[in-house]
Chain A
Amino acid sequence: MKHRKRRPPRPPIWAFILLAATSTAAEDPGAEDPFGGEVEVTLIARHKTVRDASTVRVAVLFQMADEWHIYWQNPGDSGLAPEIKWTLPNGFKISKLIWPAPHRLPAEPLMMYGYDGRCLLAADVKVPRGFRGAAKIKASVSWLVCKDVCLSGKRDLSVTLNVGQQEPTVDARWKADFARHDRLMPGPSAKGAFRAIARDGRIRLAVHRAALGKKLSADPKPGFFPGVEEMLNNAAPQKVKLTDGDVFLTLTPARGGARKRLQGVFVAHTAAGRRAWRVDVPVERKKKIAAKKKETSR
Chain B
Amino acid sequence: MKRLIDHAAALVALLALVALPAGAEETPAPTDPQATPKAEKKPAGKAEKKADDKKAKSKKKESVRPNPNRAPLFTLGATDKTNWALKDHLGKWILLEWTNPGCPFVKKHYRIGHMQALQKAYTDKGALWVTICSTNPNHRDFRTAEQWQKIAKDQGLASSVVLLDADGKVGRLYEARTTPQICIINPQGIRVYDGAFDDAPRAFAKEAIMAAKNYVTWVMDAVLAKKASPLRRSKPYGCSVKYQKKNKKKRRKSVN
Partner of A30, one of B26, B103, B111: B26
Residues on A with beta carbons closer than 8 Å to the beta carbon of B243: 107-110
Given A22-B14, A27-B22, check contact A78 B237 (CB 8 Å).
yes
Given A27-B24, A149-B239, check contact A8 B40 (CB 8 Å).
no
Report how far A140 CA is from B105 CA in the complex, Å.
Answer: 21
CB-based contact B237/A80 at 8 Å: yes
Closest Cβ neighbor of B195 among chain A residues: A230
Residues on A with beta carbons closer than 8 Å to the beta carbon of B241: 78, 110
A177 CB to closest chain B CB (Å) equals: 18
Residues on B with beta carbons closer than 8 Å to the beta carbon of A85: 29
CB-based contact B38/A230 at 8 Å: yes
Report how far A235 CA is from B35 CA in the complex, Å.
Answer: 21
Report how far A43 CA is from B207 CA in the complex, Å.
Answer: 30
The verdict on B92 contacting chain A, using a C-beta distance below 8 Å, is no
Given A229-B235, A230-B38, check contact A29 B107 (CB 8 Å).
yes
Residues on A with beta carbons closer than 8 Å to the beta carbon of B139: 148
Complex interface: stretch among A9-17, A161-169, A183-191, A201-209: A9-17
Given A8-B6, A80-B202, A81-B35, check contact A27 B25 (CB 8 Å).
yes
Size of the B side of the interface (Cβ < 8 Å), in residues, is 63
The verdict on B23 contacting chain A, using a C-beta distance below 8 Å, is yes
Partner of A108, one of B9, B104, B246: B246
B192 CB to closest chain A CB (Å) equals: 14
The verdict on A104 contacting chain B, using a C-beta distance below 8 Å, is yes
Residues on B with beta carbons closer than 8 Å to the beta carbon of A19: 14, 17
The verdict on A244 contacting chain B, using a C-beta distance below 8 Å, is no
Interface of A is mostly: mixed
The verdict on B93 contacting chain A, using a C-beta distance below 8 Å, is no
The verdict on A112 contacting chain B, using a C-beta distance below 8 Å, is yes
Q: What 0/1 readout, one digit per residue, does chain B (228-256) give for beta carbons within 8 Å of chain A? A: 00001101111111110111010110111
CB-based contact A6/B254 at 8 Å: no
Given A83-B202, A150-B103, A154-B25, check contact A103 B14 (CB 8 Å).
no
Partner of A29, one of B6, B7, B108: B108
The verdict on B89 contacting chain A, using a C-beta distance below 8 Å, is no
**A interface with B by C-beta (< 8 Å):** 1-3, 6-8, 10-12, 14-15, 18-19, 22-23, 25-31, 67, 69, 77-81, 83, 85, 103-110, 112, 114, 116, 140, 142, 144, 146-154, 220-221, 223, 228-230, 255-256, 267
Given A80-B202, A140-B29, A149-B102, 12 further pairs, Cβ under 8 A: A2-B28, A22-B17, A27-B24, A27-B26, A28-B26, A29-B107, A69-B254, A77-B177, A108-B246, A144-B104, A148-B251, A150-B104
Which 8 residue pairs across A and B have the least CB separation, nearest first? A103-B254, A78-B240, A27-B25, A8-B9, A15-B10, A11-B10, A29-B22, A223-B256
What are 15 A-B interface contacts by the 8 Å CB criterion? A3-B16, A6-B13, A6-B17, A26-B24, A27-B22, A29-B107, A78-B177, A78-B240, A85-B29, A109-B246, A110-B240, A110-B243, A112-B240, A149-B140, A152-B104
